[in-house]
Amino acid sequence: MAFEKDKDDTMETKQENLITTDYSEVMQKSYIDYAMSVIIARALPDVRDGLKPVQRRTLYDMYELGIRYDSPYRKCARIVGDTMGKYHPHGDSSIYEALVVLAQDFKKGQTLVDGHGNFGSIEGDGAAAMRYTEARLQKITQEVFLQDLDKDVVDFVPNFDETEKEPTVLPVRIPNLLVNGSEGIAVGMATSIPTHNLGEVVDAVKAYIKNNDITIKGLMRYLKGPDFPTGGIVVNQDDLLNIYETGTGKIRLRGKVEVEALKGGRSQLVVTEIPYTMLGLNIGKFLNDVAGLVESKKTNDILDISNQSSKEGIRIVLELRKGADIENLKNLLYKKTKLEDTFGVNMLAVSGGRPETLNLKQIIESHVDFVFEVTTRKYQTLLLREQEKKEIQEGLIKACDVIDLIIEILRGSKSREQVKKCLTEGVTEGIHFKTKTSEKAASRLSFTERQADAILDMRLHRLIGLEIMALQQEYAETLERIRTYEDILENYDSMAAVIIKDLDAIKKAYAVPRRTALENAEEAVFEEKKPEEMPVTFLMDRFGYMKLMDPAAAERARETIYAENRYVFTLMNTDKVCLFTDTGRMHAIKAADIPLVRLRDKGTPADNISNYDSQTERILYAAPLSRVLEETYLFVTRTGMCKLVAGSELNSSKRTMASTKLMPDDALVFVGEAGEMEQVVLETEKGLFLRFPLKEIPEAKKVAVGARGMKLKESDGIKAVYLTDALAAFTIEVNGKPFTLSQVRLSKTRGGAGTRLH
């Protein structure tokens, strides 16, 4: 059925507003929004409480759940689930990881969570799953971080689904950003703030409160420098002032090493404190690095190494041989291992809603401003409560004076509202009085609403004489508190005194002695003992295994050695072995890095001690560096490009360098010493030969491609290269028959097409 539209019934077409914009602008705005979200809402701490959002929400959730320091532990899975469901919808792993770090005393200057169970170790062991571990708040967290939340000291905002309220910041009374430090990676920026000693931080805050014009140098008379939970030694103390003035810099850390005497005149080094940067898997790396120093013969002083660390602390023992140079060995450990490391400082935090790199004074100043704001709001709330209490107490005292009249009103009234109206407004209508005098007195009553409610709720025992005296005493105390609170709110010095008194109490209760020593130490200088120079024989088999042998032993097994190895030559143990590969690279390997073994020992693959990759490269030639520098070398590629290169061109301190330049899809097929040779013979894959004088090949730099040595047919390539003198009877096998190269016609120039041997 067809429907005809009436002319009067016009269809309304919805107009769409299309906004045309550049795609790059949309991407830029979206990315900036995303970046700021990561920076503000996840990665960076707030300068006021020193906490990231996930940390703040976790602590607040534990507080709301009633998991206090004096209550039983609760499962971490419960804490994580509740935090994720109410405040932090970003996944359980991030919440649990934050909870674990807050409980690890080797990462935080002051742990904020009391963990029960396996919360990981200083050696990098991870925490147990959250279904196994339990936690509760530390006492310092409850008393210093979460106290007074009921006094309207901070703003609360709706959570992500607007079903709960959460604090925008916790009312922390110490600069937690300094005490516990912070580490976080945002988008395009990162924060790295070291931990500090609580007692020193408190002293610096007090100094700032007493003198707002104090300099950073002045603050550092109290706050000496970072104090890491792992101890250790800061060895560049003079750099700290610049770091705290700029908010960025590098702190050099060393582990603490002690010398213990053993029987027989021997001794051992014991690492009792490690740099903060060695936390976790870096302890294992340190042990491997020390073992590597022994294996590579950087030191012969270490006989044994053992990790005897326990819950009592770090104890890494290095047993030394008798007569070991202890100071030189310490310097070796500082130079070659993580026992000395750098902690990069970047004091980046969210300040005023935006990320900002702050110096020491700015951090303390921001925190003190915040504490004054919190204290002001606290005492405003307390003052309001006391004023309300004063109003009620005044009403009750006044009521005691006219209690007989009030009782008469109560007995003559029909409802609570009728009594309340009489007490507040003097309305006597409907109330039965015994006398007109009582009614007249009642009409003059003018209690406030709050006072009237208190009178109606008052119990009769409050009319006892002692109770009335107690009420008057409470009233006097209330008046005194009001005067105190008003003084605190109106006078900076009074509020400052309250804050300083509070800080002194916190310091007394929770401060611990400094753990990290501060000093100016000279840079570690290790004098590597030069090995005694002596000749060694180098051997490399066809599988790429290399080894060194004593030349006398090698000479005795000469026949076996030459039969089983591809390269054999003698060099000094201070020399290097050069490996030329078909990729055009030259790998230089120190002879000292190649194991000195017996004949039947296998040796080590070239891959293990150089950048050579046996999967992608093929070794064409090997020689000692000392000989390479003295000779001239012929390079020939598969496409027939040739050149002579002086060995001095190949001198470099690099482990790997380009020995020649190759065109795309080309490969090196020959490297050899030109020496006294006079002629070169090129053999192709299709059986063509070209012989011409070596002098026809130009000498070039290593970065040059070279000159055309032979004109090749399509899909043909150079297969082999032979260097001969004019009179040599060099014999090769072609198609199963022996041929001497002198049978190949001698061409006067390079670049010919070649001939076929019959």
Max avg pLDDT among 9-18, 363-372, 533-542, 584-593? 363-372
- DSSP-derived 3-state class of residue 276: helix
- DSSP-derived 3-state class of residue 665: coil
The two structure tokens encoding residue 465: 């004489």
Domain boundary among 475, 510, 545: 510
Q: Which string of DSSP letters, residue by residue, matches 669-695?
A: EEEEE-TT--EEEEEETTSEEEEEEGG
Give yes or no: residues 673 and 557 share one domain. Answer: yes
Residues 387-444: tens digit of each pLDDT:
999 998 888 888 888 888 888 888 888 888 988 888 988 888 888 888 888 888 888 8
Question: So what's the pLDDT on residue 1?
Answer: 40
Spatial strand order of the sheet with 113-116 comes to 74-75, 134-137, 113-116
Give yes or no: residues 550 and 630 share one domain. Answer: yes
Within 13 Å and on the Cβ side, how many CA atoms surround 359?
Answer: 13
In single-letter form, the type of residue at position 703 comes to: V
In single-letter form, the type of residue at position 632 comes to: T
For residue 397, with 0-12 CB atoms within 10 Å meaning exposed, 13-18 middle and 19 or more buried, which class applies?
middle
Give yes or no: residues 278 and 137 share one domain. Answer: no
The mean pLDDT of 186-190, rounded to a whole number, is: 75
Residues 61-82: tens digit of each pLDDT:
999 999 999 999 999 999 999 9
| pLDDT bracket for residue 728 (50, 70, 90) | low
695-700 long-range CB contacts below 8 Å, 24 or more apart? 696/749, 696/750, 697/634, 697/642, 697/643, 697/644, 697/750, 698/643, 698/644, 699/632, 699/643, 699/644, 699/645, 699/646, 700/643, 700/644, 700/645
Could you count the other beta carbons within 10 Å of the beta carbon of residue 679?
21
- Considering 31, 34, 132, 492, which one is annotated as catalytic? 132
> What residue has token string 């006044």?
398
Domain count, the chain: 4
Residues 297-326: tens digit of each pLDDT:
788 889 899 999 888 889 999 999 888 888
The mean pLDDT of 510-531, rounded to a whole number, is: 82
Least confident range of 23-37, 84-98, 223-237, 688-702: 23-37
| pLDDT bracket for residue 38 (50, 70, 90) | low
Question: So what's the pLDDT on residue 743?
Answer: 82
- Judge whether residue 7 has pLDDT over 50: no
Residues in the chain: 758
- Judge whether residue 32 has pLDDT over 70: no
Could you count the other beta carbons within 10 Å of the beta carbon of residue 700?
19
Residues 567-595: tens digit of each pLDDT:
999 999 889 999 999 999 999 999 988 88
Rounded to an integer, what is the distance from CA 230 to the centroid of its chain? 16
Question: So what's the pLDDT on residue 2?
Answer: 42
In single-letter form, the type of residue at position 17 comes to: N
Task: Look at residue 75 and tell me if it is in a domain.
Answer: yes
Q: Residue 188: left (phi > 0), alpha (psi -120 to 50), or beta?
A: left
| pLDDT bracket for residue 31 (50, 70, 90) | low
> What residue has token string 């002086």?
646
Give yes or no: residues 468 and 591 share one domain. Answer: no
The two structure tokens encoding residue 327: 């100071």
| pLDDT bracket for residue 370 (50, 70, 90) | very high
Q: At residue 108, what are phi and psi to the nearest 5 degrees?
A: -115, 140
The mean pLDDT of 594-610, rounded to a whole number, is: 87
Domain boundary among 169, 197, 232: 169
Instruction: Please report, for the domain that includes residue 569, its CATH number.
Output: 2.120.10.90
Distance CA 692, CA 724 (A): 10
Give yes or no: residues 543 and 686 share one domain. Answer: yes
Vertex 720: Cα angle to 715 and 726 (nearest 5): 130
Give yes or no: residues 495 and 546 share one domain. Answer: no
Distance CA 321, CA 333 (A): 16
Q: Residue 136's beta-bridge partner residues? A: 114
Vertex 285: Cα angle to 283 and 287 (nearest 5): 75
The mean pLDDT of 13-33, rounded to a whole number, is: 69
The mean pLDDT of 748-757, rounded to a whole number, is: 87
Task: Look at residue 748 and tell me if it is in a domain.
Answer: yes
Give yes or no: residues 379 and 297 share one domain. Answer: no
Task: Look at residue 517 and tell me if it is in a domain.
Answer: no
Tell me the percentage of the chain whose pLDDT exceeds 90: 57
Q: Where would I find the H helices in 458-533?
A: 465-490, 492-510
For the chain, state the CA radius of gyration: 43
Distance CA 486, CA 489 (A): 5
The two structure tokens encoding residue 659: 């020995």
Q: Where would I find the H helices in 211-280?
A: 216-219, 240-246
Quote the domain boundaries for residue 298: 256-338
- Looking at per-residue pLDDT, the higher value among 732 and 75 belongs to 75
DSSP 8-class letter at 228: -
Give yes or no: residues 637 and 713 share one domain. Answer: yes
Residue of 156, 132, 161 lying closest to 56 (CA atoms): 156
> What residue has token string 């530390």?
138
**Which positions ≥6 away from 277 have C-beta within 8 Å?**
253, 338, 341, 342, 343
Task: Look at residue 186 and tell me if it is in a domain.
Answer: no
Q: At residue 752, what are phi and psi to the nearest 5 degrees?
A: -75, 175
Distance CA 685, CA 637 (A): 13
Vertex 509: Cα angle to 277 and 44 (nearest 5): 40
Give yes or no: residues 333 and 396 share one domain. Answer: no
The two structure tokens encoding residue 686: 């299709």
Task: Look at residue 138 and tell me if it is in a domain.
Answer: yes
Q: Where would I find the H helices in 565-640?
A: 625-628
Distance CA 713, CA 610 (A): 38
Residues 157-169: tens digit of each pLDDT:
999 899 999 999 9
Could you count the other beta carbons within 10 Å of the beta carbon of residue 295?
9
Query: In which element (H, E) is residue 210 found?
Result: helix 198-210
- Looking at per-residue pLDDT, the higher value among 656 and 42 belongs to 656
- Judge whether residue 756 has pLDDT over 80: yes
Task: Look at residue 247 and tell me if it is in a domain.
Answer: no
Domain boundary among 135, 169, 203: 169
Distance CA 53, CA 36 (A): 14
Question: So what's the pLDDT on residue 736?
Answer: 76
Question: So what's the pLDDT on residue 463?
Answer: 64
Give yes or no: residues 576 and 504 share one domain. Answer: no
Question: So what's the pLDDT on residue 4?
Answer: 45
The two structure tokens encoding residue 490: 């109106």
Tell me the percentage of the chain whose pLDDT exceeds 70: 93
Find out whether 706 and 641 touch, Cβ atoms under 8 Å.
Answer: yes
Distance CA 303, CA 623 (A): 35
- Looking at per-residue pLDDT, the higher value among 714 and 201 belongs to 201
- Judge whether residue 732 has pLDDT over 50: yes
Distance CA 312, CA 284 (A): 19
Distance CA 345, CA 191 (A): 8
Find out whether 574 and 533 touch, Cβ atoms under 8 Å.
Answer: yes
The mean pLDDT of 159-188, rounded to a whole number, is: 90
| pLDDT bracket for residue 196 (50, 70, 90) | very high
Whether residue 475 lies in the annotated active site: no
Question: So what's the pLDDT on residue 282?
Answer: 86
Residue of 238, 236, 225, 302 lying closest to 271 (CA atoms): 302
Find out whether 61 and 86 touch, Cβ atoms under 8 Å.
Answer: yes
In single-letter form, the type of residue at position 225 comes to: G
Mean pLDDT of the residues in the chain:
89
Vertex 372: Cα angle to 368 and 374 (nearest 5): 115
Find out whether 114 and 137 touch, Cβ atoms under 8 Å.
Answer: yes
- Looking at per-residue pLDDT, the higher value among 219 and 393 belongs to 219
Give yes or no: residues 495 and 599 share one domain. Answer: no
| pLDDT bracket for residue 5 (50, 70, 90) | very low
Residues 679-694: tens digit of each pLDDT:
899 999 988 999 899 9
- Judge whether residue 10 has pLDDT over 50: no
- Judge whether residue 13 has pLDDT over 50: no
Question: So what's the pLDDT on residue 265?
Answer: 82
Give yes or no: residues 505 and 554 share one domain. Answer: no
Residue of 243, 99, 113, 100 lying closest to 178 (CA atoms): 243
Question: So what's the pLDDT on residue 6?
Answer: 47
Biggest CA pair distance of the chain: 155
Cα–Cα distances (Å) from 654 to 578, 586, 658, in that order, read 11, 10, 10
Q: Residue 477's beta-bridge partner residues? A: none
Task: Look at residue 359 and tell me if it is in a domain.
Answer: no
- Judge whether residue 117 has pLDDT over 90: yes
Q: Where would I find the H helices in 402-464?
A: 403-412, 416-425, 436-443, 449-457
Find out whether 709 and 750 touch, Cβ atoms under 8 Å.
Answer: yes
Rounded to an integer, what is the distance from CA 214 to the centroid of its chain? 32
Task: Look at residue 653 and tell me if it is in a domain.
Answer: yes
